[in-house]
Amino acid sequence: MAALDRVKVLVLGDSGVGKSSLVHLLCQNQMLGNPSWTVGCSVDVRIHDYKEGTPEEKTYYIELWDVGGSVGSATSVKSTRAVFYNLLNGIILVHDLTNKKSSQNLYRWSLEALNRDVAPAGVLVTNGDYDREQFADNQIPLLVIGTKLDQIPETKRNEVLTRTAFLAEDFNAEEINLDCTNPRYLAAGSSNAVKLSRFFDKVSFSTDSVWVVLGEQVRLPEILPKAQGSSEPLK
């Protein structure tokens, strides 16, 4: 069997928002039994059928790089994380719907990963300082995921989801809100599953188009002449 193409997706967000729980759900289709702090980064893989059911259908390994979210913006911590940010095809931005700060910090996480974090070390780029122009030429697919939906009382959901819809708009991304401990939220055929599949289609397509190398967005042929008839990405 031919080796499958692999693509890399970063999973970013504050500590405790549920990144590891989400990755486990995406890759193992079940609740993560015993979550503990992620130190450094852990990687799991999901198999994705690009353009399923069409003549262009192709299977990809999606590597989900779950980057531990502890201790925000000290320069040394940032440079440690930076090693995970090279050669990426997409970013899943994860925030906790019960924690406003974790939503605001997504601006900082995305800027850090895309190497546009020009704020002085230790200063968060908050919603108020956010400038959409910083993303004007971004070609990396982004997906915003809100977790702990189960912990928001029914009476508060509208208010919370209206606020987070703006967030997805700022990132020009789709959003999914869910409970990471419940596989039902990603059940086959559900609108969440459709959004997810659309995101992974975009990410898979990007193996043939754009990568981030040391913070610069480049087209693959510019850094690696492709083997005839192959779209094997750079490893």
Contact positions vs Mg ion (CB under 5 A): 20, 38
Please give the C-alpha separations between residue 225 and each of 3, 219, 229, 230, 233, in angstroms, as whole numbers: 19, 11, 11, 10, 10
108 contacts ligand GTP (rule: CB under 6 A): no
Closest distance to ligand GTP from the beta carbon of 228 (Å):
41
112 contacts ligand GTP (rule: CB under 6 A): no
80 contacts ligand GTP (rule: CB under 6 A): no
179 contacts ligand GTP (rule: CB under 6 A): yes
Closest distance to ligand GTP from the beta carbon of 155 (Å):
18
Nearer to ligand GTP, 34 or 228 (CB): 34
Angle CA 62–38–170, to nearest 5? 60
Nearer to ligand GTP, 106 or 180 (CB): 180
For ligand GTP, which residue of 6, 38, 80, 124 counts as binding (CB under 6 A)? 38
Non-local CB neighbours of 4 within 8 Å, separated by 6+ positions? 47, 59, 60, 61
183 contacts ligand GTP (rule: CB under 6 A): no
For ligand GTP, which residue of 18, 90, 141, 233 counts as binding (CB under 6 A)? 18
Q: Using an 8 Å Cβ cutoff, are 203 and 89 in contact?
A: yes
What is the distance, to the nearest Å, from the Cα of residue 100 to the centroid of all Cα atoms in its chain?
Answer: 19
- What angle do helix axes 154-170 and 100-113 make, rounded to 10 degrees? 20
Structure tokens at 216: 């610069």
